A and B are shown apart, each in its own frame.
Chain A
Amino acid sequence: MASDTKHLEMTLETQVESVNLAEEMCLRVAEAAGFGEDDCYRIGMSVREGVINAFHYGNKERPEKKIHLAVDLTADKMIIHVLDEGTGFKLSDVPDPLAEENLLSTSGRGIFLMRAFMDEFDVVSGRTGGAEIVMSKKLPAPGSASRNGQGGQNAAPQQEA
């Protein structure tokens, strides 16, 4: 790890409250790193979805299992790791929530949202044997529109009803 990388990690209980806790912690890091409001929203949402995934699908809501959250702040990006203690999964096995037959599904949109909101996203086999979500967002350039502002490179499309 590069010497200028800041590293933060925490172990979370498999409970609903951990979702808010993880989101709040990562939002503080993102704000301190200079991300603007829109990017903070996307990072916060992605962390929520990562921890929900670990809570529900990975650890199957079993309280004896833990969720491992780590954040690396490098010179150019914020990298977030969410590791569960489940059995892992393949991204290719995740149904496409935008497919016509899945539009009315009541679940299965978390992975899609993380992919949409972050610059890089992957799922690897973690040291626990569970799934490790690794996602990152580039730090805004000093003076850019997205730095503590409203812009962002992955802004959702604008469209009036």
Chain B
Amino acid sequence: MALHATHRDAGQVTVVELSGRITLGDGSALLRTTIRGLLAEERRLILLNLADVDYIDSSGIGELVSGFTAVKNQSGDLKLLHLTKKVRDLLQITKLFTVFDVFSDETAALRSFS
């Protein structure tokens, strides 16, 4: 399933709702342009909702890391919300669970940015 992305404001935080697969090609490219687009609009506090993302390959992981680094380099923060089991397992075995702040509750995630 192709990746879809929408975003909404929640105070100073932009919540990006993603659905589909983040894989080599269009999925990774859309994630990249979405994050870079937000940074261009000076939205530097980003919460990625991955509730409807059930598949990420190494290219998608690379794009998540790239986005995380780009946001951090602009003194922002990028956090993850609602991981599916497959994505959670993938972040655990690649040790990225120790890099990203991961939340299962949106209110708690939004509060963590302040």
User: Measuring CB to CB, which residues of chain A are less than 8 angstroms from any residue of chain B?
Assistant: 16, 19-20, 41, 45, 48-49, 52, 97-98, 103-107, 109-110, 112-113, 116, 155-159, 161
Shortest Cβ distance from A106 into chain B, in angstroms? 4
A156 touches B89 (CB 8 A): yes
| Complex-state Cα separation, A155 to B69, whole angstroms | 29
Tell me, rounded to whole Å, the shortest Cβ–Cβ distance linking B102 to chain A. 5
Q: Is the CB of A161 within 8 A of B99?
A: no
Mark out the residues of chain B between 30 and 71 whose CB falls within 8 Å of any chain A CB in the assembled complex.
57-59, 61-63, 65-66, 68-69
Chain B residues whose CB sits within 8 angstroms of the CB of A106 once the complex forms: 62-63, 65-66, 69
Select one of A52, A103, A159 contacting B92, CB under 8 A: A159
> Which residues of chain B are within 8 angstroms of A105 by Cβ–Cβ distance?
62, 65
Contacts of B65 in A (CB 8 A): 104-106
Given A48-B23, A105-B65, A106-B66, verify A116-B93 contact (CB < 8 Å): yes
Interface of A: prevailing SS: loop
B11 on the interface (CB 8 Å rule)?
no
* Chain B residues in 8 Å Cβ range of A110: 58
Chain B contact residues, CB within 8 Å of chain A: 23-25, 57-59, 61-63, 65-66, 68-69, 86, 88-90, 92-99, 102-104
Out of A48, A158, A161, which one reaches B57, CB within 8 Å? A48
Q: CB-CB < 8 A to A20: which residues of B?
A: 23
Given contacts A52-B59, A98-B94, A109-B94, contact A41 B24 (CB under 8 A): no
Shortest beta-carbon distance from A118 to chain B in Å: 13
Of the residues A19, A48, A49, A103, contact of B95 by C-beta under 8 Å: A103
**Known contacts A41-B86, A48-B57; is-contact A156 B92 (Cβ 8 Å):** yes
Task: Write the nearest CB–CB distance from B1 to chain A, whole angstroms.
Answer: 11
11 further A-B pairs in the complex, CB-CB below 8 A; given A16-B25, A103-B98, A109-B58: A48-B23, A48-B24, A49-B57, A49-B58, A52-B57, A98-B95, A103-B99, A106-B62, A107-B58, A109-B94, A156-B90
Cβ of B62: which chain A residues have Cβ within 8 Å of it?
105-107, 109
Query: In the assembly, what is the distance between CA of A156 and CA of B85, in Å?
Result: 10
Bound complex: CA A52 to CA B94 (Å): 18
Cα A156 to Cα B90 in complex, Å, equals 8
CB distance from B59 to the nearest CB of A (A): 7
